[in-house]
Structure 1
Amino acid sequence: MAQFPPMVHVTSHPACLRIRGPSVYEDQDERPWVPLVMETGSALQVQLRQEDPSEHVALTNQEPFSIMLWVWDLYPGGQDLDSLGRFWRIVHHVLDDGLEEMILELMADP
């Protein structure tokens, strides 16, 4: 059985995440990412885990498909632009036990 390092910070972020179906995004390499929307006081965050969605959709508190963003595109400086023209910053992106996890946080309007 392969041994993975405990946790590694990832610096190569997905160039884009596009909605593939209910509560599932897909990156440019066709890898599935499962989102979980979180409220952290004054900030809105989305946790994305690169994993098989069929194993986790029923176990997580997912937003309805109709209100999920259609796309995030990576911009310079570690920011993503969503389909509504809002910027999100990458707060956290790690590889943990073979699975990637990324947290995006909605940035306040300038």
Structure 2
Amino acid sequence: MAQFPSMVQVTSHPESLRIQGPSVYEDQDERPWVPLVMETGSVLQVRLRQEDIPSAHIVLTSPLPSSMMPWVWVLYPGGRYLDSMCRFWRIVDHVLVDGVEEMHLELLPDPQDS
């Protein structure tokens, strides 16, 4: 019989996520997070997965290929992150799935565009 994945909500979010190489962010505890960028309609979303990557595999000189991706996210009150481009991202969910942390962020519309 197939087992369903174990999923638990996480309420303690990284204080910051900083770019460390192509497609790798690092939190304040030096844990690497790998982003997966998704566009659903007109909404930009990012799923970050905390994965142990040997530091030898992180190249520090190249930015992420997408110009829409920030260099840093900083936790902000209200379950949001503020990025290096002064945009807010809502934390859609943050879960532990079979022992692996995954956080789903969604870019909030710019209030000046309304």
TM over 0.5, shorter chain: yes
Instruction: Name the SS of the counterpart of 1:65 in structure 2.
Output: coil
Structure 2: state its 5+ residue gaps: 58-62
User: What is the CA-CA distance between 1:65 and the residue it aligns to?
Assistant: 1.7
Contiguous gaps of at least 5 residues in structure 1: 58-63
Q: Which residue of 2 aligns with 1:92?
A: 93
Normalised by the length of structure 2, the TM-score is: 0.80
Whether the 8 Å contact between 1:94 and 1:100 is mirrored in structure 2 is yes
TM value normalised by structure 1: 0.82
Aligned to 2:102: 101
Deviation sequence 1:58-106 (CA, Å, 0-9, x none): xxxxxx7253310000000110000000000000100000100001100
Distance (whole Å) between structure 1 residues aligned to residue 70 and residue 53 of structure 2: 17
Runs of 4+ in 1 over 2 A off after TM superposition: none
**Aligned sequence identity (%):** 74
Q: For 1:74 and 1:16, how far apart are their aligned partners in 2? A: 6
Supply the distance in 2 between the matched residues of 1:108 and 1:87 (Cα, whole angstroms).
Answer: 8
Size of the aligned set, in residue pairs, is: 98
Partner of 1:8: 8
CA-based RMSD of the aligned residues comes to: 1.8
